[in-house]
Amino acid sequence: DTGVSQDPRHKITKRGQNVTFRCDPISEHNRLYWYRQTLGQGPEFLTYFQNEAQLEKSRLLSDRFSAERPKGSFSTLEIQRTEQGDSAMYLCASSLGTDNYEQYFGPGTRLTVT
């Protein structure tokens, strides 16, 4: 049983650069979530997919952020023109569906914007 995987685990980038993160959910899970966790805080919801459809986006997800899940399997989160305030841990989670409310989390991608 492979869990949720995320790549890369760490990313250091210069301000203004674009970055893309990948999340591979547990294979039979049709729901996928992105969260952001800053130092000393709990995860904050960013967006949610059911299969390939993006059904909800947080106001935290500015125009510079875009997420996709093209075939209902893996997902990517892209941040354009990164800012220092984007430095955080980006967490991906997946869940099975309406009868299972548990979200399974990946190890996260730690982004540092210099």
Partner 1 sequence: AQSVTQLDSQVPVFEEAPVELRCNYSSSVSVYLFWYVQYPNQGLQLLLKYLSGSTLVKGINGFEAEFNKSQTSFHLRKPSVHISDTAEYFCAVSGLYNFNKFYFGSGTKLNVKP
Amino acid identity, position 88: A
Q: How far is the CB of 18 from partner 1 (least distance, A)?
A: 25
How far apart CA 28 and CA 46 sit, in angstroms, is 22
Residues 66-105 that bind partner 1 (CB under 8 A): 91, 93, 101-105
Among 44, 72, 76, 87, binds partner 1 (CB under 8 A): 44
Determine, following the binding rule CB under 8 A, whether residue 43 of this chain makes contact with partner 1. Answer: yes
Q: Show the tokens assigned to 63.
A: 């125009």
Task: Between 4 and 113, name the residue whose CB sits nearer to partner 1.
Answer: 4
Strand-pair partners of 10? 110
Among 17, 18, 41, 62, binds partner 1 (CB under 8 A): 41
CA distance 80 to 32: 21
CB-based contact 11:21 (threshold 8 Å):
yes
Binding site for partner 1 (CB under 8 A): 3-4, 31, 33, 35, 40-45, 48, 50, 55-56, 91, 93, 101-108
